[in-house]
Structures are given as C-alpha cells and as structure tokens.
Amino acid sequence: MDDRAEVREFLMSRRARVTPQQAGVETYGDLRRVAGLRREEVARLAGVSIDYYTRLERGNLRGVSDAVLESVARALLLDAAERDHLFDLARTANPVGLRPRRQQGDTPVRPELQYLLDAITTAPAFVGNNRMDLVAANALGLAMYSPLLEDPARPVNFSRHIFLDPAAHDFYPDWERAAWTNVTILRREAGRSPRDKRLQALVGELSTRSEEFRALWAAHDVRRHYAGQKTFRHPVVGELELHYQTLELHGDPGLSMTTYLATPGSPTEDSLRLLASWAATDDAARVVRLSAS
C-alpha cells in the first residue's frame, strides 16, 4: 500500500463527503460540479494556507503538527475513528522518534487468555487479531462460528469468510452491513499497522478475488468496533440477536477479545442454551476445531 496514496485518497474522500451546508460554508449561489467542499474551503476552515492544505492532500504529511491535524479533522467533520486514522497515517509519514507498534505474530494465545475464555460459559467469546483471524474461543464461541470452522483452511479468517464463502450470505442476514463493517475495521487496522506484510497480503488477496471488497476498500471508510448489536442466522439454532463488547488486549498487542450477550429472557438466550447443548454433541465436535487436524 502506497503511503502517500493512502493519505491522498482518504482526505479527498472525506472532503467530497462534506457539503458546504454541513460545514457552515456560504456558497452565495455558486454552481458546483461536485457536492463536497473545495480545497480552499477546507484550508480556510482549518486555518492553514491553500498551498499547505494542497500539500497535505497530495499525501505529504511530513512534519505536520498535531494541532494542524486536529484542525483538519474538525474542518472535515471526522468522527473519532476517522481522526485516529488520520493520526495513524501521519505517524507513518513521520517515523522518527516514534515507537513502532508491536505486531502480534502467529504464536498461540497465552494460556491465561484461554482460561479466561473458558470461564465464560453462557456467552460466545473469542480472541481475534488485527488481520481478522479467529485465534481462540470458548466452547460456545466455537459453536456459534461453526459455519466458518467447516472450512479446513487455517487460520480461520472473518474477512475471507465474508467475501469468499457464499455461505456467509446465510450466516449474516444483513450481509451488506457485515461486509462494510469488516472492511472499515480492516482499513483502520491497515492505518495502524502499515508495515504488517501479512495484513497487506490479506488485503491484496481480497482485492484480487472479490469485487465487493474492492469497491468497499476504495471508499476509505474506517470504524471503531467496540460495542453494538449483531444478528446471525445459525444453521442449528436459527437467528441470534446478540450484543457485542470488544476489548483491546493491551498486554497482547494486536489481539482483542469479543463477547456476545443475549438480552435476558429473550428468545436468543434460549437459543444460546440450545447451542451450548449442541456444542457437546459428536456432530459439533467434528466441526468446532480451530487448529488443523
């Protein structure tokens, strides 16, 4: 991934998204060929010269200060995830004096993390890495993601499943939303870890093999993924409406833990009990393995 191109395309895509009305810019009846802001308008809102902003939008973030980045983020109405992404891109352009992000390798998770997962018995829980691999899970998590585990390829990868496995359209009732969310998370991770060759390889593979992925990746949308609601259609127990919470594991760089919770007294809570019973069967045992057998 070209660092300058990443900066250029991100800033241009955000500028094109903001209308003069949203930014509080008077147009005085000007005829515009595009709906978004002009460069000079962003420069004025950010308090920098048009030449300086043009330099930034051409992909040159060398030497840019945090104050200027904050001003540009406000001018472009960036949300928290987009602001973080802009700062990550600047960190890549200004590596001197910055501590590089530690990367998670392919080693198994610490035993203590697996103990923690196994202690969660009434909710699906799993640990994933920044390349969207499923690297560890509790019994209910393995049962819930059994459609992904049927593919013998390892490591299990959420992105490959969503974009390359036709069965994903059944597992995710709102497949378009799931696909968009997956790409926005992957785009954010690419900004945070621009030298991760395995992440670059995954993006390259998906860009080559999936037209849907290419279109979503080109939008440069980024998103935080810490809490919310998801719906799954499990082949054994049917629809599951679950609330998720994701925590970054700062002691294990590149890893995060996600737990899915059902609303107490809901049909999904009953379905999770049924799923837990199925997870103990021989049929499930043949599927729910993370490591290759």
- The answer, as to whether pTM is greater than 0.95, is no
pLDDT digits (tens, 9 = 90+) for 174-211: 999 999 999 999 999 888 888 888 999 999 999 999 99
State the pLDDT confidence band at 292, using cuts at 50, 70 and 90.
Answer: very low
State the pLDDT confidence band at 293, using cuts at 50, 70 and 90.
Answer: very low
pLDDT digits (tens, 9 = 90+) for 38-87: 999 999 999 999 999 999 999 899 889 999 999 999 999 999 999 999 99
State the pLDDT confidence band at 97, using cuts at 50, 70 and 90.
Answer: very low
Task: Give 290 or 268, the one with higher predicted confidence.
Answer: 268
Domain with CATH 1.10.260.40 in the chain: 3-93
Q: Which CATH number fits domain 111-285: 3.20.10.10, 3.30.420.40, 3.40.50.300, 3.30.450.180?
A: 3.30.450.180
- Alpha-helical regions (H) of the chain: 3-17, 20-23, 39-46, 50-57, 66-75, 80-93, 111-119, 139-144, 146-149, 158-164, 168-171, 175-192, 197-209, 211-218, 267-279, 282-285
Q: What is the pLDDT of residue 98?
A: 42
Average pLDDT, rounded, for the chain: 88
In CATH terms, the fold of domain 3-93 is 434 Repressor (Amino-terminal Domain) (1.10.260)
Domain with CATH 3.30.450.180 in the chain: 111-285
Tell me the one-letter amino acid at 12.
M
